[in-house]
């Protein structure tokens, strides 16, 4: 009896890692995983990085858990003999410091490219950088979007800065409904009207904090059209959980049509030409 | 585990589970005018000879509208209750999730988060909504309310609920209208019962009356003592004694009166106030129903004059015009700091403007580019033509359409200017010249 009880903890601590591995194996099929495939090129590379890390970490996890299981089992099986004292092994310590450091260093350097392309403005695709698409302002608890006039062409950094500081007559405004064209990189500026928010589009793998006082450029490219979610990912108050907008990616022609329709409705003067019948107000 | 552990874990589990017994005693609150009525007027009374209970105001509201957990779909109201009241139930669920914490359970604009908000959330119970497309004397139509919910109100804490489905938007709008109708009916019945006011002020004035009557009696008695036997003075004393008795019996008389009033309003004791309820309901329903199908909308008869420096100049001159008086409130630079913000309205003890809900109201600062009711030209047109209900922004029906469009063009241009717009005109130009000359000569 005593012998079986000794092994209890070994079994207990081996049970949970097995559950963890099994959960990860069934997760994609059960949708406990990413919200679909990444819908942007940079998103795909981010996903690749994630899988690389996952593989490395899983290998290490399995190895260490097997080692721990072995030690627990063997230790519990030994019912006689005293414990022996050791000063440790310097060689072992060096190995299991240098090898993990090497792995970590590799991971840190390997991901630098992707990180930089996402964060460093000068690496953004020039096409997107030179003609920003919109200004997205987060406020409690909605997303307000301002597009430049459809025929607006920006001439240089100063022009863009001026547009950011001073609204113009042809600007188009919407709320909670952000449209972007597919098939080309686009850049927009993120602002906050009150507290910290975060622009988070899981399908496009984009996440960026909106800090009050800062104007932060974000770029992305939607591979395919569809309605994606624009969520807030920084606790901003009681309504944070439902601060959701629609991010609609449309083919270029449909997007241009959308902007023109928006312009028409924004200039709506409510005038209805009198019909032929004599029904006048 | 030992006995103590068992006790502790049982007790804490019980406590935790007790939280799950949701307190579902949510109730609609009544407005101040209702709270200040006499008890019989509010809650009715039991007849002493054992007949049915005579209903008061609260009983009627409970019967016709119900409680938040037990809604009543009163068919007389112009509300789309949906099949078997589905709309109302879905609307209530959405309202409680998204709207209640600011607008309150009863739509009184006093929910738990309202205290932190400036401007305060809308109190629906007067049936007044600011940003509408209907005439100044009319209720909002469904589209106005839906637009507000869908687009939010920039510059305030009302967010946009763009992602509600059409059915959800419809049901929550109907619920808001239902709350507004309930509040309006309550106010109308308060007016019917206004004679039976039992507020602090009225109670105090009764006490004052008694004190005054006592004082007058003492004075009359003193006078009579000086000249005993004088019949005129004796009559005075008797009269003053009568007055004192009347003042002390005032409350009793009123009690009799209110019961009489409640009983007399109908064929039988059960009807009581019923007739008045129906009358007032019909009146309110008529006002809401007459805009449901797009009638009485403010629609321009001329298309918008395209924006141009000339049009903007004309608009500015209209803005500064003494007859039209925009700058009285909005100020000559449109910053909302006109002279009305510093003067005392009649009967007010604080300077400035107040809205119909009694809150201080600042005229809109037109330089910010934030348009609460919408930034389309038609929206600004409607603010000018129809005013803003519930506020001191008046409607203007005298201006011609072209003039209103000029004003609209000017208003839309204000935030885009680097400084106050300058009106270009020969006279002004000469005037500038004169100043320059004066400066040059050192004066």
How does residue B3 score in pLDDT terms, banded at 50, 70 and 90? confident
Query: Is 90 exceeded by the pLDDT of residue A196?
Result: yes
For residue B341, report the phi and psi dihedrals to the nearest 5 degrees: -75, -10
Query: Is 90 exceeded by the pLDDT of residue A216?
Result: yes
Chain A nearest CA to B422, separation (Å): 18
Is it true that B68-193 and B309-431 share their CATH fold? yes
Q: What is the CATH number of the domain that holds A245?
A: 2.60.40.420
Instruction: Please answer yes or no on whether A177 and B162 come within 8 Å at the CB atom.
Output: yes
Q: What is the pLDDT of residue B436?
A: 41
* CA quadruple B394, B395, B397, B398: dihedral, nearest 10: 20
Q: What is the pLDDT of residue B421?
A: 52
Range A67-76 average pLDDT: 90
A177 and A262 belong to one structural domain = yes
Instruction: Please answer yes or no on whether B151 and A266 come within 8 Å at the CB atom.
Output: no
How does residue A277 score in pLDDT terms, banded at 50, 70 and 90? low
Q: What is the pLDDT of residue B422?
A: 52
pTM of the entire structure?
A: 0.85
A129 and A260 belong to one structural domain = yes
A188 and A166 belong to one structural domain = yes
> What gap in Å lies between CA B356 and CA A108, rounded to an integer?
63
Q: What is the pLDDT of residue B28?
A: 93
- Assigned domain for A87 exists: no
Residues B363, B367, B371, B377: is their CA dihedral positive or negative?
positive
- Assigned domain for A258 exists: yes
Instruction: Please answer yes or no on whether B98 and A269 come within 8 Å at the CB atom.
Output: no
Q: What is the DSSP string of B120-188?
A: PPP-GGG---SS-SB-TTS---HHHHHHHHHH--TTSS----TTS-HHHHHHHHHHHHHHHHHHHHHHH
Q: Which CATH code fits B309-431?
A: 1.10.760.10
Write down the domain spans for chain B. Answer: 68-193, 309-431
> What gap in Å lies between CA B133 and CA B126, rounded to an integer?
18
The residue that leads in pLDDT, B45 or B376, is B376
Secondary structure percentages of chain B, helix, strand, coil, to 5:
55, 5, 45
- Picking from A95-109, B165-179, B232-246, B397-411, which range would have the lowest pLDDT averaged per residue? B232-246
ipTM for the predicted complex comes to 0.86
- Assigned domain for A8 exists: yes
Q: Which residue of A has its CA nearest to B101?
A: A238
The CATH-assigned architecture of domain B68-193 is Orthogonal Bundle (1.10)
How does residue A275 score in pLDDT terms, banded at 50, 70 and 90? confident
CA angle B334, B117, B106 (to 5 degrees): 115
Range A106-113 average pLDDT: 94
Best residue in A169, A269, A273 for a mutation probing chain B (most B CBs within 10 Å): A269
How does residue B263 score in pLDDT terms, banded at 50, 70 and 90? confident
Query: Is 80 exceeded by the pLDDT of residue A257?
Result: yes
Instruction: Please answer yes or no on whether A169 and B299 come within 8 Å at the CB atom.
Output: no
Query: Is 50 exceeded by the pLDDT of residue B442?
Result: no
Q: Which residue of B has its CA nearest to A238?
A: B113
- Picking from A24-33, A117-126, B301-310, which range would have the lowest pLDDT averaged per residue? A24-33
Q: What is the pLDDT of residue B382?
A: 96
Range B159-165 average pLDDT: 95
- Assigned domain for A145 exists: yes
Beta carbons of A151 and A180 less than 8 angstroms apart:
no
How does residue A274 score in pLDDT terms, banded at 50, 70 and 90? confident
- A141 and B CB contact within 8 Å: yes
Place of tokens 């012998």: A3
A106 and A129 belong to one structural domain = no
Range B343-367 average pLDDT: 92
- Assigned domain for A48 exists: yes
- Assigned domain for A171 exists: yes
A256 and A133 belong to one structural domain = yes
Q: Which residue of B has its CA nearest to A266?
A: B376
Q: What is the pLDDT of residue A279?
A: 47
- Assigned domain for A83 exists: no
A115 and A190 belong to one structural domain = no
What does pLDDT average to over chain B? 87
Q: What is the DSSP string of B205-242?
A: HHHHHHHHHHHHHHHHHHHHHHSTT-HHHHHHHHHHHH
Q: Is B358 left (phi over 0), alpha (psi -120 to 50) or beta?
A: left
Beta carbons of A206 and A190 less than 8 angstroms apart:
no
Instruction: Please answer yes or no on whether A246 and B162 come within 8 Å at the CB atom.
Output: yes
Q: What is the pLDDT of residue B430?
A: 44
How does residue A157 score in pLDDT terms, banded at 50, 70 and 90? very high
Query: Is 70 exceeded by the pLDDT of residue A4?
Result: no
**CA-derived radius of gyration, chain B:** 30
A163 and A196 belong to one structural domain = yes
- Picking from A78-87, B164-173, B238-247, which range would have the lowest pLDDT averaged per residue? A78-87
Q: What is the pLDDT of residue B426?
A: 44
Report the DSSP pairing between strands A177-181 and B353-354. Answer: unpaired
Beta carbons of B412 and B402 less than 8 angstroms apart:
no
Beta carbons of B42 and B51 less than 8 angstroms apart:
no
A185 and A250 belong to one structural domain = yes
A242 and A223 belong to one structural domain = yes
Q: Is A280 left (phi over 0), alpha (psi -120 to 50) or beta?
A: beta
CA dist list (Å): B233 to A203, B216, B222, B435: 97, 13, 10, 80
- Domain count within chain A: 2
Q: Which of these, A209, A208, A198, A204, lies nearest to A231 by C-alpha position? A: A198
A104 and A189 belong to one structural domain = no
- Assigned domain for A279 exists: no
Range B250-257 average pLDDT: 81
Beta carbons of A200 and A244 less than 8 angstroms apart:
no
A262 and A142 belong to one structural domain = yes
How does residue B293 score in pLDDT terms, banded at 50, 70 and 90? confident
Q: Where are the beta strands (DSSP E) in A88-194?
A: 134-139, 142-147, 172-175, 177-181, 186-192
Write out pLDDT tens, residues B163-193.
999 999 999 999 999 999 999 999 999 998 8
How does residue B30 score in pLDDT terms, banded at 50, 70 and 90? very high
Query: Is 90 exceeded by the pLDDT of residue B248?
Result: no
Range of the domain at A226: 125-266
């Amino acid at each position: 009896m005593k012998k079986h009880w000794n092994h209890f903890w070994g079994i207990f601590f081996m049970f949970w890692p097995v559950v963890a591995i099994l959960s990860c194996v069934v997760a994609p099929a059960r949708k406990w995983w990413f919200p679909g495939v990444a819908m942007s090129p940079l998103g795909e590379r981010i996903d690749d990085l994630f899988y690389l890390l996952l593989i490395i970490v899983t290998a290490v996890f399995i190895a260490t858990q097997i080692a721990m299981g072995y030690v627990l089992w063997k230790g519990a099986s030994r019912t006689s003999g005293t414990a022996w004292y050791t000063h440790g092994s310097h060689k072992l310590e060096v190995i299991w410091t240098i090898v993990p450091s090497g792995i970590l260093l590799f991971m840190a350097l390997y991901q630098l490219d992707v990180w930089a392309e996402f964060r460093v403005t000068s690496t953004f695709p020039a096409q997107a950088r030179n003609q920003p698409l919109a200004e997205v302002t987060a406020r409690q608890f909605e997303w307000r979007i301002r597009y430049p006039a459809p025929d607006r062409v920006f001439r240089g950094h100063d022009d863009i800065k001026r547009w950011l500081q001073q609204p113009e007559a042809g600007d188009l405004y919407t709320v909670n409904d952000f449209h972007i064209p597919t098939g080309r990189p686009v850049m927009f500026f993120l602002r906050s009207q009150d507290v910290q928010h975060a622009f988070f589009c899981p399908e496009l793998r984009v996440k960026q904090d909106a800090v009050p006082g800062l104007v932060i450029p974000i770029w992305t490219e939607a591979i395919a059209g569809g309605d994606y979610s624009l969520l807030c990912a920084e606790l901003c108050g009681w309504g944070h959980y439902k601060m959701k907008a629609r991010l609609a990616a449309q083919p270029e022609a449909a997007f241009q049509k959308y902007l023109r329709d928006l312009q028409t409705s924004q200039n709506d003067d409510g005038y209805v030409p009198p019909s032929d019948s004599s029904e006048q107000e | 585990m030992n006995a103590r552990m068992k006790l502790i874990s049982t007790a804490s589990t019980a406590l935790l589970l007790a939280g799950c017994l949701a307190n579902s005693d949510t109730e609609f609150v009544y407005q101040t005018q209702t709270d200040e009525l006499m008890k019989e007027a509010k809650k009715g009374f039991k007849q002493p000879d054992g007949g049915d209970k005579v209903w008061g105001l609260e009983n009627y509201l409970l019967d016709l509208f119900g409680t938040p957990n037990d809604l009543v779909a009163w068919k007389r109201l112009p509300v789309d209750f949906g099949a078997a009241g589905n709309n109302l139930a879905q609307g209530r669920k959405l309202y409680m999730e998204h709207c209640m914490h600011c607008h309150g359970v009863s739509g009184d604009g006093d929910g738990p988060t309202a205290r932190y908000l400036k401007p305060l959330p809308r109190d629906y119970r007067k049936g007044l909504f600011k940003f509408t497309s209907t005439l100044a004397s009319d209720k909002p139509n469904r589209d106005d309310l839906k637009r507000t919910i869908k687009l939010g109100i920039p510059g305030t804490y009302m967010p946009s609920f763009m992602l509600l489905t059409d059915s959800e938007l419809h049901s929550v709008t109907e619920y808001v209208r239902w709350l507004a109708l309930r509040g309006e009916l309550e106010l109308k019945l308060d007016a019917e019962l206004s004679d039976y006011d039992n507020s602090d002020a009225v109670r105090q004035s009764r006490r004052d009356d008694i004190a005054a009557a006592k004082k007058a009696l003492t004075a009359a008695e003193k006078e009579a003592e000086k000249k005993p036997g004088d019949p005129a003075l004796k009559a005075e004393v008797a009269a003053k004694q009568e007055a004192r008795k009347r003042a002390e019996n005032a409350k009793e008389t009123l009690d009799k009166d209110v019961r009489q009033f409640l009983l007399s309003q109908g064929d039988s004791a059960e009807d009581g106030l019923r007739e008045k309820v129906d009358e007032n309901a019909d009146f309110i329903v008529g006002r809401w129903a007459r805009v449901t199908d797009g009638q009485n909308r403010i629609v321009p008869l001329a298309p918008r004059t395209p924006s141009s420096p000339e049009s903007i100049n004309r608009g500015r001159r209209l803005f500064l015009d003494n007859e039209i008086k925009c700058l009285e409130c909005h100020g000559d630079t449109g910053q909302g700091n006109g002279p009305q913000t510093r003067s005392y309205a009649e009967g007010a003890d604080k300077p400035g403007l107040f809205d119909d809900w009694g809150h201080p109201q600042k005229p809109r600062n037109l330089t910010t580019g934030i348009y609460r009711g919408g930034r389309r030209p038609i929206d600004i047109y409607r603010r000018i033509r129809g005013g803003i209900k519930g506020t001191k922004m008046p409607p203007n029906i005298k201006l011609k359409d072209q003039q209103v469009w000029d004003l609209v063009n000017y208003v839309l241009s204000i935030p885009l200017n680097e400084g106050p717009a300058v009106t270009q005109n020969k006279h002004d130009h000469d005037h500038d010249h004169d100043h320059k000359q004066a400066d040059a000569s050192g004066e």
